[in-house]
Each structure stands twice: as C-alpha cells, then as structure tokens.
Amino acid sequence: MLGGDGSIATDHLKIVISSVPREPIPGKPTNRPWCLQERKSLGGHSTNTLIEKPKLGEVRLNGYQIRYKGNKIGHDRFSVERKWLNWTNNTWQKGVITYDVDIVPDPF
C-alpha cells in the first residue's frame, strides 16, 4: 500500500502456476489463470504504468486492476508506477509498488 507522494512499497504474492486447474467456484469459469489485484484512489482517478517487466509471467494493467499470470515455476518480480489524484489538494502524486512473486506448482 502506498502512503503518499514518492512512496515505495513491496507486495509479496504466492500464486499457483497458470497451467494448474483451479478448484470449481459456482458461477466462475474453471480456467482462471490470472491473479487479480484491484486498487482504489480516494481522489477517484489513478493510473498504473509498468516500469519493470516480469520474466516468468505476464502482467496486464487496466484502470484500477493489476493482473498477473505465472507461466513458469520460480521467483518473479515486476514493478508498477502508480499515480493518483490527492483529494485534499487536487494534485497528482506517485509511488512505486514492486511485486515479489513466488510461483508454485501445486494448489495450497
């Protein structure tokens, strides 16, 4: 979680490789290879920019959503620059989130 302008944060994720079938969830497709994280902005506006690409998976940025899919077992990382509108003074702020990802072969 980013605190203020110039913030740097690290988020640790443990996910199952995308090729492993997922447990059934009523109303959801069985092919769910993407890990989804959704962030909010109190100012109502934000953007995400990929500044370091992952080596073992794929990232998709769309509005408030960050999706990651692990294609190979191992340790991966990627970084996203996040900009948001500060609702108290109507100025843009930015910070960087680095995602450290452990991709495992079996469901947990």
Going from N- to C-terminal start, the domains of the chain cover 7-23+30-104
Name the nearest CA neighbour of 34 among 58, 14, 13: 58
Q: Which CATH architecture has domain 7-23+30-104?
A: Sandwich (2.60)
Distance between CA atoms of residues 34 and 9, nearest Å = 22
Q: What is the pLDDT of residue 43?
A: 59
pTM over 0.95: no
Helix (H, G, I), strand (E, B) or coil at 99: strand
Q: What is the pLDDT of residue 44?
A: 66
Query: Within its chain, how far is the Cα of 101 from the centroid?
Result: 10
- Give the pair of three-digit tokens for residue 42: 């109190």
Q: Over its length of 108 residues, how does the chain's per-residue pLDDT go in tens digits?
A: 566 778 899 999 999 999 998 888 898 887 889 998 887 666 567 889 999 999 999 999 988 889 999 999 999 999 999 888 887 888 888 999 999 999 999 987
Name the nearest CA neighbour of 66 among 98, 93, 103: 98
